[in-house]
Amino acid sequence: MSEAAMSVIDPTEQLVQMCKTTRQAYYEVARTRSRMAAAIVRAQAMQQALATANNKDVCATLLAMADPKIKMVERIGEPSDVDVVNVMLMATWHGFTPGDSEFSVLAGRGGATMYIKGNGYKTLMVDLGAKDIRIQPGFPKQVNFKDGGGSVWMVEGTAECVFNGQKIRLLFSGDGAVKVPCNLYRGQQVSSDGIDLVIGKADRRMAKALYGVVHTAAKVAAAEDADDDATGNAEMTITPVAPAALPAPAPDFIDEVAALQTKLTSEHAALLGDAHADIAGAVSQPQLRTVWEAINAAAKETKLDKRAVDLLVRIKDAKKGELQ
């Protein structure tokens, strides 16, 4: 084999290396410069990744890994091949590995999106520098509403990690427990498969909540680094992140959300539950704005029931007042 032939690199491997390099550059810019500069780096990197969709070999490889028969990547709905390739490219840039249950391809009216699973959020936290990540959901308990309007699974547990030398611990208990509407898994409510699905849903929500706290802490650390560089200070004091309980959803909305979930489709019920948990988990106004933008996008894509939208607006406004 000639030296020239040996030097040829598989285009898919080139894609993986490019994503790894630009992802590391993104984190470095976020740490040493500004979030806006990091956003520009990320946008340029994503454009580079999406540009590789023109390579037939890359597309074929990505589609093969997402083939339902292989079951390396879950497909939800019936996404087009183009949408599958785009999601696979996004997942590659995020550092996700097909076959590790880190993401799914979720079909929607406006095209497919990347649905990040619990393992995916753990991978993102590792990329940010988190260590000793532990997500520990308890055994689900079915709770009936007093008015007979339905029931939900309640899952208590903890999510913790070590970040920047400090331990972060979220407690999900009482009103702050993860709630999963029972109508999501009709016919499986008392089976082992149904229980596993509920625990898996709770694990994802806990991991997502912990990632939100770590991501916010990382942004704070990045801002402190930037301020330190600008002032020329030789020393920098980082306020330790004390173990804290996850902010519980506003008590006035818990029963309302759960009751409405029993009247919605499974897709809308799940979205309402996730959105409620995301709003409750916001620990700052900037994080709440980011969460709300994502909820708005998901609501438009899924044409979320107006009753759910109106309720989420009220929950968001209450949370905004709480954070002021």
Q: What are the residue ranges spanned by the domains of the chain? A: 1-116, 129-246, 249-324
pTM of the model: 0.64
Tens digit of each residue's pLDDT, the chain (324 residues) = 444 444 456 878 888 888 888 888 887 887 776 767 877 888 888 888 877 767 888 888 889 898 888 889 988 888 888 889 888 988 988 889 999 999 988 887 777 888 889 999 999 999 888 999 999 999 988 877 655 556 778 888 888 899 888 888 888 887 778 877 765 444 444 444 478 888 888 899 889 888 888 887 777 665 554 443 333 332 222 233 344 443 444 445 766 777 777 787 767 777 787 787 777 766 677 777 877 887 888 788 788 899 989 989 988 888 787 666
Torsion, Cα 296 96 125 155, to 10 degrees, reads 70
Q: What angle do CA 177, 209, 91 make, to 5 degrees?
A: 135
- Kindly state the tokens that stand for 88: 């696979």
